[in-house]
Amino acid sequence: QKEVEQNSGPLSVPEGAIASLNCTYSDRVSQSFFWYRQYSGKSPELIMSIYSNGDKEDGRFTAQLNKASQYVSLLIRDSQPSDSATYLCAVRGTSYGKLTFGQGTILTVHP
Amino acid sequence: NAGVMQNPRHLVRRRGQEARLRCSPVKGHSHVYWYRQLPEEGLKFMVYLQKENIIDESGMPKERFSAEFPKEGPSILRIQQVVRGDSAAYFCASSPSITGDETQYFGPGTRLLVL
């Protein structure tokens, strides 16, 4: 079993729709959870971090965390073509420790 | 504020040569991480360093790879006797020293191509 798994892609949504990205992790002691966006040929860019159960909203992005289910998700509302990228879920077990990444989900938003 | 800086951005080496990748963290950040992204694969952790100390090198191949973060100057990832399988994007990330903000900010990466 992979440590961090993301829903298989690619995911294609029409402009204006909600894109839903999912991630599960295997290590129950994980403390911190991150969503990064990576455009082709570029470096990962942080979108959201979440540390507590529940929802965290930032603009069009909402991260959801359920530690009991070992599940974290990212919702992108009003998807735009500029949101087309690979989305990486990352999990960290200890403060300042390494990030363990999922394999990424490719999102395409078509006009 | 300047972000994480990496150089060179692109590096071409022939098999058997050495590759030296440099990373300057965000000013004031004392935690540096190196990750590798092989073609069509996810990011994999390699090593975590603080000034003059290797904290976690569990992701570093046992041979040919080494890393340092000296008291002065950038962090260096060194790959000796490169092989074609070392061709990848190498990303450096840094974190602030202040507890409560442990976000890792990534540099632009160094794309290594081994011929």
Quote the pLDDT of residue B46.
97
Quote the pLDDT of residue B40.
76
Q: Does A7 touch chain B (CB under 8 A)?
A: no
- What is the β-pairing status of strands A99-101 and A4-6? unpaired
What average pLDDT does chain A have?
Answer: 93
Q: Which tops the pLDDT comparison, B101 or A91?
A: A91
The C-alpha atoms of residue B75 and residue B47 are separated, in whole angstroms, by 11
Quote the pLDDT of residue B92.
97
Residues of A in contact with B36 (CB under 8 A): none
Q: Does B25 touch chain A (CB under 8 A)?
A: no
The C-alpha atoms of residue A105 and residue A19 are separated, in whole angstroms, by 11
The C-alpha atoms of residue A71 and residue A67 are separated, in whole angstroms, by 6
pLDDT at A1 over 80: no
* β-bridge mates for residue B31, sequence order: B50, B95
The C-alpha atoms of residue A46 and residue B4 are separated, in whole angstroms, by 13
Confidence band for A9, pLDDT divided at 50, 70 and 90: confident
The token duo for A45 is 């860019």
Residues of A in contact with B54 (CB under 8 A): none
User: Are the CB atoms for B16 and B82 separated by under 8 Å?
Assistant: yes
pLDDT tens figures, A12-21: 999 999 999 9
Number of H helices, E strands in chain A: 0, 11
Query: How distant is the alpha carbon of residue B99 from its chain centre?
Result: 23
Q: Judged by CB atoms within 8 Å, which residues 12-51 of A form the interface with B?
A: 32, 34, 36, 42-46, 49
* CB neighbour list of residue A83: distance below 8 Å, 6 or more residues apart: A19, A37, A76, A107, A109
The C-alpha atoms of residue A24 and residue A19 are separated, in whole angstroms, by 17
Amino acid in position A45:
E
User: Are the CB atoms for B115 and B16 separated by under 8 Å?
Assistant: no
Interface with chain A: mutation pick from B104, B110, B111, highest number of A CBs within 10 Å: B104
Nearest to B29 by CA among B111, B107, B114: B107
User: Are the CB atoms for B56 and A97 separated by under 8 Å?
Assistant: yes
pLDDT tens figures, A55-71: 999 999 999 999 999 99
In tens digits, what is the pLDDT along chain B, a chain of 115 residues? Answer: 579 999 999 999 999 999 999 999 998 888 999 999 998 788 999 999 998 899 999 999 999 999 999 988 999 999 999 999 999 999 999 988 666 667 899 999 999 999 9
Min Cα distance B43 → chain A (Å) is 6
Quote the pLDDT of residue A84.
97
DSSP A86-110: EEEEEEESSTT--EEE---EEEEEE
